[in-house]
Structure 1
Amino acid sequence: MSSGMHEFLAQDRVIWGQAADRAVVEEADRRQARRVFIVTSKTLNRTTDAVEKIRRALGMRHVGTFDECREHTPRPSVIACADAMRAADPDLVLTFGGGTAIDTVKVALIALAHGLTAPDQLDDYHLRTNPDGSRHVPVVKPPPFRQIVLSTTLSAAEFSNFGGCTDPVRQIKHGYTGREIGAASVILDPAVTVHTPQWLWLSTAIRAIDHSVEGICSIQPSPLIEATSLQALRLFARALPASLRDPGDMQARLECLQAAWLSGIGILRVPYGASHGIGHSLGAVTGMSHGHTSCIMLPHVMRHNRDVTAPQQARIAEVLGRRDGDAAQAVADMIATLGQPTRLRDLNVEKSQFAKIAEGAMENLWVRTNPKPIKGPEDLVALLEAAW
C-alpha cells in the first residue's frame, strides 16, 4: 500500500472575473492593509499604464514601487528588493508580473524575516540534497507581511511557496521555501496579460505543461496532482492555440491562466524530474528563460523516462489527442506549433557549456528525483547532446 501526504499552501483565495484594479483594492481592504508596496518589472512599470492604474486605485495606500527585478532572480536583486521594502515599511506587497517578480519577493521575504542584508547570507536558507538523497529544508521564520499576486505569465510561480534564486558567482540556481513566502491570494485578470510578449506567454505555458507532465510522472505520485495536472493539459490543449490565433480572446487567456493554476498545485508537493532540474542549471549558466528550457528539454527528458513512466505518459498522450502513447511527440508537436525553440542551438547554447550545466544540475534536487535515475553528469550531457 502506498503512502503520502499533501500539504496545502497558505493561500486564501484565487480571484478571477474581476478587473485587476478593483480586485487589488478589495483584497487590500479584506486584509486591512494601509501601506501597499508594489514589485513589478521595468517593462510593465515604464512602458505601459498598467501599474499606474493600480497605483491610482490604491491612492494614499501606495508607499513605493520596486521595478528592478531581473530574470533568474540573481541574489543582488533580491537583496535590493528587500532593502526597498524595508525602507518603505509596508504591511502588504502586491507583486504584479510573472515568475521573476514573484520569486524575487519570495526570497526577499526570507531576507526580511531573518534580517539578511548581503547576498552571501542567503547561503544558509536554500534547499539542499543530503548525501543520502534526503532533502534538507532550512527553517524559515514567518515574513513581516505577505504578498498578493497579479499574474501576467503562465509559469505558475504564484501557486507555490518555492522560489528560485541564482548565485551569479557560481552560476547555480538554488531553491528556497517557506510556508508564508508565496502568494496569500492570486488575481487572474486576462486583460493585464495583453502586455506580456507573445513568446513569453507561450513559453511559460510550456513551463506549466512541464509542471503537469513531471507531476503526473513523479516518483511519488499524488491523486490530486494527477487530476489537476490532467485537467491543466486539457485546458491548455484547447485554450493555448486559441490565444495564439486571437491574442484578444479574453476567455482563452483566462482559461490559460486557470490551466497554469491547476498545473502549479504540484510544485514542491511531489518530486519533479530532470526537465526542471536541467532547466534551472541551463538558466543559471546561459541566461535562457525557464519557459524556453522547458520547450527544449521536456520532450527529451520524457523520452529518456518513457520506459519507466509508460502508463503515465499514455494518459498524457490521450489528453493531448494522441492515441499511440507517444506523449513526448505530442508535447514536441505542440511546442513546434506554437513557434517556440526546440533545440539548444536555436538559442546559441554551445557544447562547451555542457559540462558546467551538468555540474550545476547534479546539485539540483529534482535531477536527483528523476523517474529514471540520473547516475552522473554523463547522463545529463547525453540529454543535452540529444537536445542540441
Structure 2
Amino acid sequence: MNQLKCLPQEEIVWGHDVLKAVAPAMGNYGIRRPITFTVEFLEALNREHLQPAISDGVGTFTGLPPHVPDFAVRDGLRACIEANAGSIIALGGGSVLDAAKAVSFQHFQQTGRYLPIAAIPTTLSGSEFSHYFGVTETDGPQKFKRSYAVRETTPALVVLDPRMIVDTPRMLLLSSAIKGIDHAVEGMRRVDVDHPHAILAARGVERFLAVLEKWPRKLETREAIAGSHVSTDDLLQLQLAAWQCYFYPASVTYGLSHRIGHILGGTYGVPHSVTSCIALAPVIRACADAYGRKLGIFSTDRGSRTPAAFLADRIEAAVDALELPSRLGDLDFDRAKLPEMAALLRQNYPSEVGDLGEDPGTKLDALLESLW
C-alpha cells in the first residue's frame, strides 16, 4: 500500500533577509511569549537579528550540549515553566531543534499543552521539517540516544534565511549537508521511485551536490563568498535542498546509516552530522541489495556502475573534496569500541541491521571495521 503522511507544519518561509520581516509577525503562527533556545556560539546572531524583532520574548536558554542529553531537556523545561513561556523559537542546528521538540513534548506531559515551535536553522540536516527527535539518556550504565516521533512537536513555522548560516563553522555546515543527503537516500528504504519523497529527494540531492562539488577547500563561508567561489544564493540552494531531502519525513523510515549515527553520537560523542560523512557511502554499498534499483533515481547517468556504487562514489568524492572526516580513525575513535557498538546496533536496531542481508551480524562487524 502506498501512502503519504503529512505533518502539521503551518508555514515555511525562505529567501534572503526574510527573518527581519517574519520575526515581528511570529504571533500569527502561535509563537507568543517565546523563549529562544540556542547555543552560546550563536548568541551574537541571536542578539543582533532575532531578539530586537521580538516584542514579547521571555528570555533565552543556551544550556544545550550536543546530542540532547536528558538533563539539558529537564533544564530547558524548567526554564520554560519559570518564564511562563508560551512557545519556543529554536535558533540553531539539529541538537537545538531536537531539544525544543523534546521540551515541548515534556511540557505536554507535565501540563497537558505542547509549546509551539518556530525553527530558524543554522545547519542543513533538516530537523526543522520533522517530528523526529532524539534524547540521550545519561542515567544508566551506558549513554544511549533514544528516538521519538511526536507529530505535535513539528515546528509550526520554519524560516530559511541564508544570513543564518553564513557564520556556521565550515565543517559543521558542510557535514550537515551530507546528513541532509542521508535523509534523502535512507528515506527510500520503504518507498518506491514514484513516491513524492523519492521525486523531491532526488532533486534535493542534485541541488546539494551542485553546490558542494564546487565548494572551495579550507575556506570558511564568508571567505568563500568574498572570493566569489560561492554566493549567498548558493547558501539558499543548500537550505532548499535540505527541505527537499526531508520533505515527507512522516512517510518514510530511516536505515542503518542513521542508526550508526545515533550510536556514534549519543553513546560515543561523535559530532552528529559527521557520522553521515563516515557511514553513508559504506552503508549504501553494504545495503545495496535491500534498496535495489530504487537508488537509480539518484543516478541517471552512471555508466556501467550500479545505482548504489555510483551514488556511494559520488558522496564519498564530495566528502573527500570537502576535506570532511571519512573514517572513525580520523576522529581518534577507539577501535576497541567497535564490538560494543555492533552489540548496541544488533540489540536496538535489528530491522536496520537486517538490511545487510544474509548473515547480517558478520556483515555488520565487517562494515564497522571498514568505517574505522
Which TM-score applies when normalising by structure 1? 0.85
Q: CA deviation at 1:5?
A: 2.0
1:53 paired residue among 49, 55, 58: 49
Partners of 2:370 and 2:357 lie apart in 1 by: 17
* Structure-2 residue corresponding to 1:67: 62
* Structure-2 residue corresponding to 1:5: 3
* Structure-1 residue corresponding to 2:341: 357
Partners of 1:339 and 1:195 lie apart in 2 by: 18
Q: Which moved more, 1:104-113 or 1:299-308?
A: 299-308
* Structure-2 residue corresponding to 1:107: 102
Q: CA deviation at 1:252?
A: 0.4
Query: 1:155-185: per-residue Cα shift (whole Å, max 9, x none)?
Result: 1000100001111232211111211112111
Aligned in 2, Cα 1:289/1:194: closer, same or farther, shift over 3 Å? same
Which TM-score applies when normalising by structure 2? 0.89
2:39 paired residue among 15, 38, 41: 41
Q: CA deviation at 1:34?
A: 4.0
Paired residue type of 1:260: A
Q: In the alignment, does 2:187 pair up with 1:188?
A: no
Q: In the alignment, does 2:75 pair up with 1:80?
A: yes
Aligned residues of 1:277 and 1:364 also touching (Cα < 8 A): no
Partners of 1:175 and 1:318 lie apart in 2 by: 34
2:190 paired residue among 205, 219, 228: 219
Aligned in 2, Cα 1:250/1:364: closer, same or farther, shift over 3 Å? farther
Q: In the alignment, does 2:87 pair up with 1:92?
A: yes
Tell me the matched-pair count.
355
Q: CA deviation at 1:375?
A: 5.6
Partners of 2:271 and 2:280 lie apart in 1 by: 14
Aligned in 2, Cα 1:103/1:73: closer, same or farther, shift over 3 Å? same
Aligned in 2, Cα 1:293/1:33: closer, same or farther, shift over 3 Å? closer
* Structure-2 residue corresponding to 1:260: 242
Query: 1:284-340: per-residue Cα shift (whole Å, max 9, x none)?
Result: 222111211111111111111123434123332337x76633221111111111111
Paired residue type of 2:190: I
Paired residue type of 2:263: S
* Structure-2 residue corresponding to 1:157: 127
3-state SS in 2 of match to 1:108: helix
Partners of 1:374 and 1:253 lie apart in 2 by: 42
2:261 paired residue among 256, 275, 279: 279
Paired residue type of 1:381: D
Q: CA deviation at 1:215?
A: 1.4
Partners of 1:322 and 1:55 lie apart in 2 by: 52
Aligned residues of 2:31 and 2:88 also touching (Cα < 8 A): no
Aligned residues of 1:374 and 1:380 also touching (Cα < 8 A): no
Partners of 1:158 and 1:196 lie apart in 2 by: 17
Q: In the alignment, does 2:17 pair up with 1:21?
A: no
Aligned residues of 2:121 and 2:159 also touching (Cα < 8 A): yes
Partners of 2:167 and 2:71 lie apart in 1 by: 27
Q: Return 5+ residue gaps in structure 1 as ranges.
A: 117-140
Partners of 2:351 and 2:70 lie apart in 1 by: 22
Aligned residues of 2:10 and 2:29 also touching (Cα < 8 A): no
Q: Return 5+ residue gaps in structure 2 as ranges.
A: 226-230
Percent identical pairs in the alignment equals 28
* Structure-1 residue corresponding to 2:270: 288
3-state SS in 2 of match to 1:63: coil
Q: CA deviation at 1:21?
A: 3.0
